[in-house]
Amino acid sequence: MTQAQVAEKLHISRKTISSWENSHSFPDVSSLVRLSDLYKISLDDLLRDERLLKSYDVQIKNSSVMIKIAKFSYNLNIIFWLLSYVEFFNDKSAHFPTIPLLLIINLIVYLTHFSNWVKFKRVDYVLRLLVTFFLMFTIYIFLNMWLTGFSNFSSQTDIYFILGFSLGKVLLSWLATVSLVVILFFKPMNSIVDL
């Protein structure tokens, strides 16, 4: 059979078949089962191919590294979230963007290494996440604008100062909310088995 014929029977592209043959990638489990049925070869014989075994070993190693990075970044996110309260309730002295900036960078690193996106297919999970986000954002805005000295700055006559101060507080509230939602809803996996 040609690559095109096999690809058509397996419902995949011819390029995928070509990359399997050239060891650029390897079939997933469902494709292996279909290949086994198509060529009437046992799965055991297909799986004992050394190139395939090496590829899966590399994938497992890469996945375990990703999980370790995600766990470290998740714990760092908790620390940065707690430290963001230093900025959150700071209304008397100069503001330093270091903690929020580190929090943003860490969130980006964490979300690029997060691999448990399957749970976000459940509508109830996403709805809980959104309700939590909007509720916490509202609470943070209230705390930030009214309880931490907004009235001290509202007497300022410079409209740009008031707008900048307000925008900074809203952005910090948004960042703290995103960080909390990540802590609550984006817990890292414990092992590759969780995949």
pLDDT beyond 90 at 91: no
* 3-state helix/strand/coil string of the chain: CCHHHHHHHHCCCHHHHHHHHCCCCCCCHHHHHHHHHHHCCCHHHHHCCHHHHHHHHHHHHHHHHHHHHHHHHHHHHHHHHHHHHHHHCCCCCCCCCHHHHHHHHHHHHHHHHCCCHHHHHCHHHHHHHHHHHHHHHHHHHHHHHHHCCHHHHHCCCCHHHHHHHHHHHHHHHHHHHHHHHHHHHCCCCCCHHHC
Give the model confidence (pLDDT) of 32-83 as tens digits.
888 888 888 777 776 666 666 676 677 777 778 888 888 999 999 999 998 8
Q: Tell me the pTM.
A: 0.64
pLDDT beyond 90 at 125: yes
